[in-house]
Every structure is written in structure tokens, then in C-alpha cells.
Copies of this chain bind each other. A is one copy, B any other.
Amino acid sequence: MAYRVNIYTGFMPRWRTDAKERLEQAAVELFLEQGFAETSVPQIAAHAGLTTRTFFRHFADKREVLFGVDADVPALTGRVMAQVPTTTTPLALIVSTLVPFAEAAFGQRREVLRMRHQIINTDQGLRERELRKMATLREAIVTGFLERGTDPLVARLAADLAMSVLRSALERWLMLDNDQVLSECVAEAIQALGVLVGQDLVTS
């Protein structure tokens, strides 16, 4: 469990464009203020200080603003996993990559993610879309393990475990009022995983 990988190099500098994140921020603000149905694409673009044309360069419709920002996360997952030596066990891979991965993918967007969470909970279609997004990420992790030669059944359990740790950490982080950073919440969840499996798991 001592292996450590600097995977920051895998996704730094940040892979999302500023425009995408500005549109996401503007959209969740308007969705919360006016309601999802009552908000139009031109309103979102204007609120972000961008044109409607720029909006459509990044997103197919207003629903996709809630999901499109993370569209690259599954591909990022694959790249990160491919960088870890194949001699590293699935559990050690999860332990060594999850903190920097979570931080890079979600760590800077706490307020937006909180608002997004509220909006998604108001609509059945959005909830189902969110679950599909999570399923896609899980599939990317399964594929990442299979490409490393992991047994299929072990790969699925490992992907579920990674998702479970990530989800627990995100939930806790979004619930907390203090200024705890996401990486601390992920590290805590990994410690809890260590308790569960009876091992001392050290995050990088």
C-alpha cells in the first residue's frame, strides 16, 4: 500500500474551459432563482456574459449544462488509471488516485455542486440523467481495470468501491458548513475503507 503516484500531471492544467464553468455557474443560479423550466438558453448565456452561440458550442441544451461540465470525467478516469503501473493492485490504485482525482474533478466547485444537487432533486428526468452519468463514470472505472488485466468480477467490485468512497466523501463535503476541503473528506472515507477491510490505507 506504499506505492504513490503523482497523477496531478495527468490532468493539470485543468481540462475544462472557463466558458463551460461560467455557463454552469450562471445556469444553476438561474435555475435555482427562477426554476428550471422558466430559464432559457439566452438568459443563461447573458448571465454568464457570453453569447448564445458560445453556449451552443459547449452544450446541446440547457439540461446538458447540468451534466456536460463533467462529460470528460470518464475519459480522464481512463487516462489516470492507465498511468498507474499494472503491478499496483486495484485497492492500492483507488487509494493512491482518488484524492487528487476528486480534487481536480470537483474540488473547486463546491457552491455550484450544492446548487446543482438541489436542482436535480426537483425533477425526475434530471435525477435519472444524473444516475446515468454516475453509471457512465462507473463503467469507465470498470473498463480502466479490465484494461489493466483485472478479473471482471473484481473490476466491478473495485469500481463500485471507488464510487462508494467518492460519493460518501462528496456527500459529506457538500453537507459540511466549514471550510474543510474535498481531499480531506476523501482521505477520511479512505481511512474508513481501511477500517472496513482491516488495513491501514495511506493516501498520497
Contact = CB atoms under 8 A, between A and B. Distances in A.
Interface in A14-56: none
A165 B167 CA distance: 18
A89 B198 contact: yes
A173 to B, nearest CB: 12
Interface stretch (A2-10, A110-118, A148-156): A148-156
B189 A157 contact: yes
A193 B127 contact: no
A196 interface: yes
Given A160-B161, A161-B161, A154 B196 contact: yes
A71 interface: no
A125 to B, nearest CB: 8
A98 to B, nearest CB: 13
Nearest to A160: B164
Chain A contact residues: helix, strand, loop or mixed: helix
Indicate the member of A125, A153, A163, A167 with the most B CB atoms within 10 Å. A153
A158 interface: yes
Given A131-B131, A189-B153, A90 B160 contact: no
A139 B188 CA distance: 21
A195 interface: yes
A204 interface: no
Contacts of A160: 160-161, 163-164, 167-168
A199 interface: yes
Contacts of A127: 128
7 contacts: A124-B125, A156-B168, A157-B164, A158-B196, A161-B164, A197-B197, A197-B198
